[in-house]
Chain A
Amino acid sequence: MTLSAHAPAPDVPDATARPEWPDATGHFGVYGGRFVPEALVAALDELTEAYEAMRVDPEFVAEFARLQRDYTGRPSPVTEVARFAEHCGGARVLLKREDLNHTGSHKINNVLGQALLTKRIGKTRVIAETGAGQHGVATATAAALMGLSCTVYMGEEDTRRQALNVARMRLLGAEVIPVTTGSRTLKDAINEAFRDWVTNVETTNYVFGTVAGPHPFPAMVRDFQRVIGDEAREQVLEREGRLPDVVLACVGGGSNAIGIFTAFVPDAGVRLVGLEAGGDGVDTGRHAATITGGDPGVLHGARSYLLQDDNGQTIESHSISAGLDYPGVGPEHAFLHDIGRAEYRPVTDAEAMEAFALLCRTEGIIPAIESAHALAGAMVVGRELGPDSLLLVNLSGRGDKDVETASAWFGLGEHTAPTDDDERAVEAGRGAEPGPGLDEDQQPTEGAVTNDEAVAGPDAGEQA
């Protein structure tokens, strides 16, 4: 026997190898776990067990691969953006094009997996939370495809910012429930979805949208999203013959970032940089930079970093990007931060919008405002590293949904640099009329079971 015959080829990633975390009960170091009412433990155990069986089931693996190829359009390409890179200190910049996926973002990767799992455990109704609406659209899409009834909880504030996606979800047959509690954004939509789930758990599966929440969601969503990094690592190696120096992604809950980071975690020479939403600036207190500006605590079923006050109350986050406007973050990011494997930096609204405009003008690609945070990070890191460096940026979504917000930010569609009127413009965008997306008449998913028997979260405590 010779060593070389058995040594793994160093540049071939093993897509089935998972990081050594989390442990069997979902802990990433001190983070993660399950901080949930006992009423949900049985459902979480059922999900964990069914998922562990499914992920190694050849039939599932084949079906999931077929959907990714034929429905989502994977693999997504890698695009070099040379004109944009001129603004990045001459560093070379490659974009992983998750914006080209069906439904317009990386969210579809996860929901197809969870929808297959829902069918496998015999449940007929899915619920989801959504911030920017991308996860809600993706879930509504998968529900339509697989004949599942679908309810999406969305903060009322976000239904205004993302009226287009509300309309898309309703066209796809989903019921969209605007959430009017708390800050009326993603965090409150998650609370409402959990209330729905604890009430309707016998028929309903919660399709969680990010790598946060109680075990098994952080590990399961990572498994479904890691295809981003698995593909990108291979694509970069093939075209460049080397790995990137830095991999960058925006971080709200953190699923697109974990998706592209995971394949590179064992590559010690590759820096992993997560860009958090700095809002008006971390020192103003109006931001969503959870790791940069928060502390460890418990929120939405897991221990991780969160924005909280002295009483342990969650602080409302602020970001121009609805998808990053979340005061928590996935526990694996907290862990990667603490062990020093990944670094997290804030990007302000203004910096993100500058990068947003730049990519539009230099490359003809309109990014999601979420993804523009990663682009802004590339502009900074590229200037730090200089012309020989190679940056891989996850372009996690496209910006169609953000056209109204961007138009308001830049002043009625004029592509000018941000001005002193920015704040007023943002408020104008946020206050925009909800539009046709909020029509009351909704058509159910063709062939789906009825939603009528389910008790919606807002009413769950008021039955009878």
Chain B
Amino acid sequence: MSGAPEDDGGVSIAASASERGAERSRSRGSALAAVIGKARADGRAALIAYLPVGYPDVDTSIAAMVAAVEGGADVVEVGVPYSDPGMDGPVIQEAVDVAVRAGVGMPDVLRAVEAVAAAGAVPVVMSYWNPIERYGVDRFADDLVAAGGAGAITPDLIPDEAAAWLAATERTGLDRVFLVAPSSTDARLAATAAASRGFVYAASTMGVTGTRATVSDAAERLVARTRSVSGTAVCVGLGVSSGDQAAEVAAFADGVIVGSAYVRALLAGEGPDGVRVLSEELAAGVRRARVRT
């Protein structure tokens, strides 16, 4: 099994990666902010697709991510499998459980990141904190830069506990996406948005991930509250499963995050083709609504 690669080139790769990261933070700025800004310039919201690495197997999951990009996703959240996904509902749990039992780990995740970047979208890793900490925070940051990743979304890491991650992302120029919730106080909204780079992840409904028939208007209020304290882009997750819902969210958010619906397509055996079809529907949805500015 591919455990912890300690290849001879590690040091020099890490060094050059860190140089590139520093260069990016000086010259290019946030990769996520750039792609979301470009969508906004086109008068639409960005489409952000989540898929976990390793379901049904690593190669098919990577093919599904590439298909999501071909169907119109601007950003792919490359999901790191985790044994205790406390924020995910049964759909994502079912897929991730397969990947965890198969021993899928960070080397597979980095391969997926490279594939998404090669397909022309912006890859951002989505990971609970322990797999990153176990891999090594600085090693993760360096390897992610080398793979062409934009940064990471950390659903169970709040800025209060993120000192090591803040330092690693400052050093490398990687984006760091933290979550806000309807229950967040104004002070926390401001602090969390200020700590974020790339975008702020608005968890629209109080609850775990999963597809819902209607998108709560709590999401719109949360986006408005976040925008009132921050200039960072706000993307909405937890709940969208159809093109119409994507259009609804795209009317008030900078980006529409879709996870469970993509995973459901894979669980239903539709494969990368099903993911591509869903992506096309969602991509049309985010273009139907005019983004308010």
Chain A contacts to B: CB under 8 angstroms:
25, 33-39, 41-43, 181-182, 187, 191, 194-195, 198-199, 201-202, 297-301, 308, 310-314, 455, 458-464
Contacts and interface: CB of A to CB of B under 8 A. Distances in A.
A419 B158 CA distance: 51
B86 A464 contact: no
A371 B73 CA distance: 55
A195 B88 CA distance: 8
A182 B209 contact: no
A182 B94 CA distance: 10
Interface of B: 3-4, 81-93, 97, 100, 103-106, 129-135, 155-158, 160-161, 178-185, 188, 192, 203, 206-210, 212-214, 260
A35 B129 CA distance: 8
A14 to B, nearest CB: 31
A460 B84 contact: no
A199 B207 contact: yes
Nearest to A201: B206
Contact of B133 (A25, A201, A297, A455): A297
Contacts of A35: 129, 156-158, 161
A40 to B, nearest CB: 8
B158 A314 contact: no
Contacts of A301: 156
A57 B231 CA distance: 43
A349 to B, nearest CB: 24
Contact of B135 (A38, A43, A312, A464): A312
A461 B89 contact: yes
A462 B92 CA distance: 11
- Interface SS of B by simple majority: loop
Contacts of B208: 195, 198-199, 460-461
Nearest to B209: A461
Contacts of B207: 39, 195, 198-199, 455, 460-461, 463
A298 B4 CA distance: 19
Nearest to B82: A313
Nearest to B202: A38
A37 B128 CA distance: 10
A461 B181 contact: no
A312 B206 contact: no
B29 to A, nearest CB: 25
Given A34-B158, A41-B158, A299-B84, A464 B214 contact: yes
Contacts of B160: 25, 33-34
A198 B86 CA distance: 9
B156 A36 contact: yes
Nearest to B201: A38
Contacts of A42: 181, 183-185, 188
A460 B213 CA distance: 14
Contact of A38 (B133, B134, B184): B184
Contacts of B91: 461-462
Contacts of A38: 158, 178-181, 184, 188, 192, 203
A360 to B, nearest CB: 37
Given A312-B82, A312-B135, A314-B83, A195 B89 contact: yes
B84 A314 contact: yes
Nearest to A298: B130
B134 A311 contact: yes
A194 B87 CA distance: 8
Contacts of A300: 84, 86
B83 A182 contact: yes
Contacts of B178: 38
Given A34-B158, A41-B188, A311 B212 contact: no
A454 B160 CA distance: 30
A122 to B, nearest CB: 15
Given A461-B210, A461-B260, A37 B156 contact: yes
Contact of A187 (B84, B90, B97): B84
Nearest to B1: A310
Given A42-B183, A199-B208, A297-B134, 18 more contacts: A38-B178, A38-B179, A39-B182, A39-B207, A41-B183, A182-B97, A195-B86, A298-B129, A311-B100, A311-B135, A312-B82, A312-B132, A313-B100, A313-B131, A460-B207, A460-B208, A461-B88, A461-B210
B14 to A, nearest CB: 19
A406 B91 CA distance: 39
Contacts of A194: 86
B183 A297 contact: no
B134 A37 contact: no
A313 to B, nearest CB: 4
A195 B180 CA distance: 17
B6 to A, nearest CB: 12
Contacts of B212: 463-464
Contacts of A39: 179, 181-183, 203, 206-207
A37 B86 contact: yes
A41, A301, A312: residue with the most chain B Cβ atoms closer than 10 Å: A312
Contact of B3 (A187, A310, A455, A463): A310
A458 B88 CA distance: 10
Nearest to B212: A464
A34 B84 CA distance: 16
Contacts of A459: 90
15 contacts: A35-B161, A38-B184, A38-B192, A39-B179, A42-B188, A43-B183, A181-B90, A191-B84, A201-B183, A311-B105, A311-B134, A311-B135, A312-B134, A314-B84, A463-B207
A301 B129 CA distance: 10
A37 B87 contact: yes
